[in-house]
Structure 1
Amino acid sequence: MAFGFRVGVPGMSVRVSTRGVRTSLGPRAARISMGSGGTRISSGVGPLYASSSLGGGRRRTSTSRATRSRAVAPSAAQLERARRQAARAQQEAERDAAIAQLTELRRQTTSVHLQSFTPARPPVVPGPQQLSLAWALAEAQAHHLAGLGVFARAARAAAKRRAEEDAPAYLTAEQTRLQAVHSRLTTEAGQWWQALLANDEEAVCEAVNYAFSDNPAAGCAVGVDGPVLSVVMRQQDIDSLPDQTPGVTPSGRPTLKTLSKRDRTLWWFTSMGSNVVATLKEAFAVAPGISAIDLAVLTRLPDTQRLGCVAYGRWTRQAIEAGPWRETTDALRFLDIGQDVACSVTTTASGNLSSAIKPLDISRLPGLRSLLDHAQDDTGSGDGTLAGLDGDLRANTPDAPSAPLPDPYRIRPFAEWKTQTAPPTPPAPAAPAPTPTLPSHSPATALMPGQNLVLPEAAWQELRIAFSFAGADADLTLFLTDTSGQVTCDKDFVFYNQPFAAHGAARLLGKQADGPHTVERAALHLAALPAHIQRVTIAINMDVDTDLTCGALTHAALYMDCVTGAAWTFQPPADPDIRAMVIAELYRHATNGQLVWKLRAIGQGWADGLDALARAHGVNIT
C-alpha cells in the first residue's frame, strides 16, 4: 500500500512508496506523475486507476516456457542409406590401399637396375687404440695393490714402486704386439686385394656372393675363367605375381582390374631384366678385375612347376657401364647389349610378347648343364627339378655367427702379460756379490763432454737412467722444456718432492745403496711426451742442507740403456766451484726429414745450486 497526502498546490499530490517518491498533477481522471520511479500517465475513474510507464523505471521481466520439440527417429530407408555409404567408403579405402600397394610392388620389382653400386677399393685396416703410460701405470698399480689394505702403507708403497717399474715394459709390449697384429692384418688385406685384382676364383666368388646376399633375386657366382665370371641368378616365379593390377574406369575413377596374361608376362619379363642388370652392375663393382660375365637365369616354370633356365648370355663391363639406366623400361635393353643372349620370352610378329615361358635348350652349354645335373632330386628322374639348387640360391646369405668374432686388438690384462711375458725373478744370491757400480750390460758407449748421438727408436719407448755417486749426497732432477729450454709450467720439473711429470712419461724411481755407491734411477718414455716438450735436461744438485759442492763427489757416473741392450755412459767432472750441474740432455732433432731423439753430454753447472738451476730452466722459485 502507498501513503499519500496533498500540499497547497492545487492538483498536486505526493505519493511515497517503497519504489520512490512521486508527485502528480491533474485531476484523478487524467494525471501525470513524476518521481524517482519514473514519469507515468495515469487514467481512471473511480477508486481504481491504471497507468503505463513512459520509460526509465524498472521493468518486470517474465519468462515464457519454450515449446518442446518432439524427437523424430530416422527411418529405415535413412539407416540403410547410411549403411551403404559407410560400406562404400570402406571399400574405396581398401581399394585405394590395394592400388597403392600394387603400384609400389611393381615399381620395386622393375626398378632394381636403377641402383648404383660403389666400386671396390683397396681395404684399409683400422689401427689399434692408442695406449698411454698413464693407462699402463693404472693397470699395473691395480694388479700390484690387489689385496693390500689401506693401512699397509709400506706394502702399498713397495707395490706402487713395482708398478712404476713394470708399467713402461707392459706398455711397450702391448704397443709392439698390437702393431704386429695391425701389420699382419694389413698384409692379409693387401694379399686379398691383389688376389681379387688377379681374378683369383676363391677371392672373387667369395666377394661377389657376399655382395649378392641381400639381393631381391638370389644370385651365386660359381666360377672364374680368366677375366670372365660365371653367375647363376634365381628369378621370381611368374605365378607369384598378384592377380590384380591398378586400372581406371571409363569415367576416370581408379579401380582394380584382373591382371591379364600379357600384362603378367610383361611385368615378370621387366622384373627379370631389372634383376639381371642389377646383378651385373653389382658384380662388376665388386670384382674390378672381371671384364665379362656369363649369366644364366633360372625360374620355376608355370606349366611343370620345375626350375629351368629361361635366359642366358654374356655381358661385358663396357656395355653395362655405358648405360644409361634411368627408366624402368631401360631394363629390357639387357637383350640388346649382351652377346649370345637367349631368352624364353620372345616378341611375336605382331609386336607382342609371347605369353608361354618354356625352358631353353642348354645342351650346348656343358658348364651350365653340368651344374644343373648335379642338382637333381633324390628321385633320380631324368628331368631334374633343381630343388637343391633352388634352395641353395635362395639361402646364400651368410649365416650370422653364433658368437661374436674375437677382437684382434684385444688388450691383454696386466696379470696375463705378467704371467706370459714378464721374465722370471732371478733367485737371490747366496752371498753378496761384488758391488757393481752400474748395471751390468753390454759395453756402453762412453761419451765425452759436448758429444752427441742419435738414440735408437727402442730408447724412445723406455730409456732407463741411473746416476751412481759416492762421497756426498746428491739428487737427480729432470726438466721437461720447450725449444727455448724453459718449462711451460712447474709440473714439468721432476725432483724428489714431485717425482712424476707428463702423466708418468718422466719419473724418478728413488735411490738405492749399491755397495759403496748410491744409485738413483729414473725412467723416460720419450715417445709419450707431449709435443710441446722438445728437450729433457738431466741434472744433479748437491744436498741443499749442506754446503758441499760437486767436488765432494768421489765418484759420479751417468748410465743410460734401453731394452735392446744399447747403453751409454758419461762421467761428469768433479767441479769444486758448482753445486748443481746439467749432466746431459735429450732433445728432438730433424734428420733427413725425420724427427729423432738425440743425446748430448754436457757436464756444466751453477755455483748457486738448485735455485739457480731451477730458475735457469724457468721454474718459479719462491
Structure 2
Amino acid sequence: MSIMVDTATGVSVRVSSPAFRATFTPRVVPAGDDHAGAGVAAPTSRLTPACASSAKSALAEAVLDAEDALTSVHRSWFATASRPCALSPARVDEGTIRTRHTEAALRGVPWFDLPNRRRAHKAAQRRALTDISVARRAAEELVRAEERRIDQWWNALCANDSATVTEYVNGVFASDGDTRAAALGTHGACVEVAVVVPGEHVLPAEEVRMAPDGSLTIRRSSVAHRAHLYRQHVAGVVIATARKALAASPGADSVKVHALRATATGPFDELALLAVAELTREDILHADFAMDAHSLLHRIGRGVRMGSECLDTVMVPLALDTVPGLAERLEQVCAGHHRASA
C-alpha cells in the first residue's frame, strides 16, 4: 500500500482513501444506544406563535437548532482519564476440586470397607485444601500482576510517554462516533492532534431573520452567513478536540490541534489545513465558555491561524508550511493506522 503526499499546490496533502479512513473514520455508535442523548437538554423555543405560523416557526426552530449544534461543540464536556483497577481475583471452584479429589481417592475402595473409605476421604480433603490454596494464590497473583501492569501504564500516561498517550488518545477518539481525529504524537508536555472538520455541506441551507416589524423571514443562507457559521464550527471543533485530548492525557500541559478538511478525489483524499492552534490546560480551565467559539479560541489559543480573520469571509486553506513537517507526519500516521487495520 502506497501513500502519496502531494505538496505541489502548497495547501493540500494527498493520502490514499483506505489509509485516510483507517485513521480518521470513527466507530459508528449503534442506533438506540442507551447513552445516546444522555445529558442533552431539550431545545427551548426561541419564537412565539405571534411572529410566525406554526409551520414556519417549526422550520425556523429546526434551522436555529442546527446552527446551535454546529456553533456550540466547544462547550461539550469530556470525562477525564482515571487509573483503572484490576478485577477481583477469580472465584475458585472449591466444590469441584473437593469432588475430584474425593472421587479419585475412593476409586477402587469397596463401598463396604468403611474404615479405608473414611481414611481415603480425609486424605482427599487434605489434598483438596492444598489445591484450593494454590488456586487462590494463583488468582491473587494474577491480580497483583495486572495491578503492576496498570501501574506501569498509568505512570507512562501521566509522564506523557508518546507511545502510551498516542495509543490511548486514539482509543478515546475511536470510541466517539462524532470525532474524526488522531493523535500525531507528543512533544514534551504537548500532545499533537489532527482532526477532520466536515465540509460546509453540514450547514443549514436557510437562515432565519427577524424584520424590524417583528415578522419572521426564512430565506436561503447568504455566503457571509454560511462563512460565519463555518468559521465558528471550525473554531469549536478545535477547542472541543483539545479538551477531549487533554481529558485523556493527564500528563499533558497543552494540545496543538490541526484542523483539516478532506475532499475525496478518486482513490485519494486531499487534506487541506484550515486552522492551527495550541491550547493549554490552564487556559481551558479558566475559559469563559459563554463566549462564541471563534472569540474564545482567539482569546485562549496560542499561535492561532485560521486564514483570513474576517468572520464573514470564506475560509481559505492555510499553506502547509504553516506547520513544518505536518504532511510527513500525516503520511506516517495514515500508513501506520492502515497497516494496523489491514
Counterpart check, 1:219 vs 2:181: yes
CA change 1:195–1:171 in 2 (3 A) is same
Query: Which one has more relative contact order, counting CA pairs under 8 Å at least 6 apart?
Result: 2
Deviation, structure 1 residue 190: 0.7
Counterparts of 1:576-591 in structure 2, within 5 Å, are none
Q: 1:181 aligns with which of 142, 150, 167?
A: 142
CA change 1:266–1:317 in 2 (3 A) is same
Deviation, structure 1 residue 142: 5.8
Give the match for residue 332 of structure 1.
295
Give the match for residue 201 of structure 1.
162
Counterpart check, 1:299 vs 2:232: no
**Runs of at least 5 residues in structure 1 that lack an aligned partner in the other structure:** 1-91, 376-387, 400-622
CA change 1:192–1:272 in 2 (3 A) is same
User: Does the 8 A contact of 2:263 with 2:271 survive in 1?
Assistant: yes
CA change 1:145–1:99 in 2 (3 A) is farther
CA change 1:117–1:364 in 2 (3 A) is closer
Q: Secondary structure at the match of 1:366?
A: coil
Q: 1:323 aligns with which of 287, 291, 303?
A: 287
Give the match for residue 221 of structure 2.
259
Q: Secondary structure at the match of 2:276?
A: strand
Counterparts of 1:14-163 in structure 2, within 5 Å, are 97-129=58-90, 131=92, 136-141=94-99, 144-145=102-103, 153=111, 160-161=121-122, 163=124
CA change 1:215–1:311 in 2 (3 A) is farther
Deviation, structure 1 residue 197: 2.0
Provide the TM-score with structure 1 as the length reference.
0.40
One-letter identity of the residue aligned with 1:311: A
Deviation, structure 1 residue 269: 1.4
User: Does the 8 A contact of 1:277 with 1:331 survive in 2?
Assistant: no
Deviation, structure 1 residue 98: 4.3
Give the match for residue 272 of structure 1.
234
CA change 1:345–1:138 in 2 (3 A) is same
Two-structure CA RMSD over aligned residues (Å): 3.5
Q: Secondary structure at the match of 2:320?
A: coil
User: Does the 8 A contact of 1:123 with 1:189 survive in 2?
Assistant: yes
Counterparts of 1:3-18 in structure 2, within 5 Å, are none
User: Does the 8 A contact of 1:144 with 1:160 survive in 2?
Assistant: yes
Counterpart check, 1:235 vs 2:235: no
One-letter identity of the residue aligned with 1:370: E
The whole-number CA distance in structure 2 between the counterparts of 1:172 and 1:301 is 63
Deviation, structure 1 residue 315: 2.1
Q: Secondary structure at the match of 1:174?
A: helix
Q: Secondary structure at the match of 2:299?
A: helix
> Which digits, 9 at most, give the CA deviation of each residue in 1:7-54, with x for residues without a partner?
xxxxxxxxxxxxxxxxxxxxxxxxxxxxxxxxxxxxxxxxxxxxxxxx
Deviation, structure 1 residue 189: 0.7
CA change 1:116–1:242 in 2 (3 A) is closer
The whole-number CA distance in structure 2 between the counterparts of 1:270 and 1:124 is 40
The whole-number CA distance in structure 2 between the counterparts of 1:274 and 1:155 is 84
CA change 1:232–1:330 in 2 (3 A) is closer
> Which digits, 9 at most, give the CA deviation of each residue in 1:528-550, with x for residues without a partner?
xxxxxxxxxxxxxxxxxxxxxxx
CA change 1:236–1:98 in 2 (3 A) is same
The whole-number CA distance in structure 1 between the counterparts of 2:160 and 2:250 is 9
User: Does the 8 A contact of 1:274 with 1:332 survive in 2?
Assistant: no
Q: 1:362 aligns with which of 300, 320, 323?
A: 320
Structure 1 or 2: more strand by fraction:
1
The whole-number CA distance in structure 2 between the counterparts of 1:365 and 1:308 is 12
CA change 1:171–1:326 in 2 (3 A) is farther
Deviation, structure 1 residue 180: 0.8
The whole-number CA distance in structure 2 between the counterparts of 1:255 and 1:162 is 92
The whole-number CA distance in structure 2 between the counterparts of 1:255 and 1:143 is 85
CA change 1:223–1:154 in 2 (3 A) is farther
The whole-number CA distance in structure 1 between the counterparts of 2:263 and 2:216 is 33
Query: Identity rate of aligned residues, in percent?
Result: 22
User: Does the 8 A contact of 1:113 with 1:331 survive in 2?
Assistant: no
Give the match for residue 152 of structure 2.
191
The whole-number CA distance in structure 2 between the counterparts of 1:335 and 1:154 is 92
One-letter identity of the residue aligned with 1:136: E
User: Does the 8 A contact of 2:287 with 2:300 survive in 1?
Assistant: no
CA change 1:94–1:306 in 2 (3 A) is farther
CA change 1:100–1:241 in 2 (3 A) is same
User: Does the 8 A contact of 1:136 with 1:170 survive in 2?
Assistant: no
Aligned length: 276
CA change 1:177–1:196 in 2 (3 A) is same
Counterpart check, 1:313 vs 2:277: yes
Deviation, structure 1 residue 364: 4.8
Q: Secondary structure at the match of 1:205?
A: helix
Question: Is the radius of gyration larger for structure 1 or structure 2?
Answer: 1
The whole-number CA distance in structure 1 between the counterparts of 2:113 and 2:97 is 18
Q: Secondary structure at the match of 1:320?
A: helix
CA change 1:371–1:334 in 2 (3 A) is same
